[in-house]
Amino acid sequence: MPTTKPTDVRVTAAEIFFLPVTMRVPLKFGPETVTSAVCLRVRVTVTDQNGKTAQGWGETPLSVSWVWPSSLSVAVRAQRMQDFSMLLAKRLVESGFAGHPMEIGQDFMHGPLAATFKEANAAAGGDEMPYLGSLVAFSAFDIAVHDAYGVLHNRDIYTTYNAEFMSRDLSAFITPEDGSGIDFSGRYPQDYLVMDAPKQLPVWHLVGGVDALEASDLTGSEPKDEHPLLLADWIQRDGLKCLKIKLRGTDAAWDYERMVRVGRIGFAGGVRWLSADFNCTVKEPAYVNEIMDRLLRDEPEIYARTLYVEQPFPYDLEAHQIDVRSVSARKPLFLDESAHDWEFVRLGRRLGWSGVALKTCKTQTGALLSLCWAKAHGMPLMVQDLTNPMLAMIPHVRLAAHAGTIQGVECNSMQFYPDASLPEQQIHPGLFQRRNGIVDLSTLGGPGFGYRAEEVKRELTAAPQS
């Protein structure tokens, strides 16, 4: 494919590293409880038309329980995702796509990614890995290309999402809603970004479904280390002001009681905001409505401080086209798992969803396109975590800072595997520790995402290429 700008690059090499992490305490995803994860780290090399090269990094947890609810064992699903990642490394280099990272990412997702996804599922047989799984695996590569591009041009990547560097405007990527009067011609991602981004963000703590709230919840099997166990201790140590509450979505009495318990403990410690995450398990809007109505009647402060409700309904939005206007009439309702890309955001808006929870694990390219579409159509934004440790944390918080979210960013790797990020924490202490209710981005700097990766003392062994 010919280059159209002297700044264009193509991917000429991709290396893979698998970094296993063990959770300090279990994390419940819907019906599954997770105790470990594998992070996919990718290093890509990009080359411009003059032969100049640069390397960039991308990383994401391969969170199989989140992307792929299934009766297959976690080990089988994890291996499938790792095998798929190895295949992606080959396909990305073979693609030969050239351009800005937004253009390379878009072209790959709409061509080779879909083909590789089908190929891998056909070869494996049995349960198919969902499309979301392919996006999560590709996200590490996509992020790495964005980073490498910034490094090659010695620019912060967020200063390249404009006409100076991109050959295509947003009209080549996204289409406005019919009759909206919106026109993406001549518009670029930078037009929808907060360019004077804050260096500090309010941080959300995840209250997991099996987390101990009070001493009576302790079983004796908890870790013996310096990190908190009880919710009040987390709130006090980290100065937390925002709590995201994981709910079951299948047990209304338990979910209501959980909201009440967390809210009371939180408010006593100075917490200001709550959110409710039903984790895709709810089948009928009435389930959420009845809980919200009961809170409004019996616990009005908890209701008032519930800032939004996150993804109660099954994440296959096309297969489950539920009219959710009754829920969003009560509280802002945010797409998360369903918001694979801007087209799903458009479908969600038609069904009555209020806003979008962006995640870098669905690709930097896709997150930015969803951000632009949502902002143009008046949809508020959040940026949610996939328990991002190590380098994965950095594009995640950068997206939140430039998105202009309704309230900060969720960061929970400090809860579930705090020691996984110690080498990165040495360079960015305010980012990998939550203090005074915030994360601090001020140590990020330099080209690309500002990782300062060369300063991080982490031993890496590349996965062998087949």
| Model confidence pLDDT, tens digit, residues 247-275 | 999 999 999 999 999 999 999 999 999 99
- Name the band, by pLDDT with cuts 50, 70 and 90, for residue 126: confident
Q: Quote the distance between the C-alpha of residue 196 and its chain's center.
A: 22
Give kind and range of the element (H or E) at residue 369.
helix 364-376
- Name the band, by pLDDT with cuts 50, 70 and 90, for residue 315: confident
* Cα–Cα dist 318/308, whole Å: 23
pLDDT given at position 66: 84
pLDDT given at position 26: 82
* Cα–Cα dist 259/278, whole Å: 11
E strand spans, 49-199: 53-61, 98-99
pLDDT one-digit tens code per residue, 35-59? 888 999 999 999 999 999 999 999 9
CA distances from 214 to 29, 94, 177, 229, 266 (A): 21, 54, 48, 9, 12
Q: Give the DSSP per-residue string, 228-249.
A: --SHHHHHHHHT--EEEEE--S
Q: What is the three-class DSSP state of 383?
A: strand
Q: Quote the distance between the C-alpha of residue 332 and its chain's center.
A: 19
Structure tokens at 67: 């992307």
Among candidate residues 178, 145, 164, 16, the one with its CA nearest the CA of residue 87: 16
pLDDT one-digit tens code per residue, 53-68? 999 999 999 999 888 8
pLDDT at 466 over 70: no
pLDDT given at position 1: 41
pLDDT at 28 over 80: no
Q: Which residues pair with 201 in a beta bridge?
A: 439
Q: Give the DSSP per-residue string, 395-410.
A: HHHHHHHHHT-SS-EE
pLDDT at 287 over 80: yes
E strand spans, 377-418: 381-383, 409-410
- Name the band, by pLDDT with cuts 50, 70 and 90, for residue 33: confident
Among candidate residues 377, 430, 375, the one with its CA nearest the CA of residue 404: 375
pLDDT at 30 over 70: no
Neighbouring C-beta atoms of residue 204, cutoff 10 Å: 28
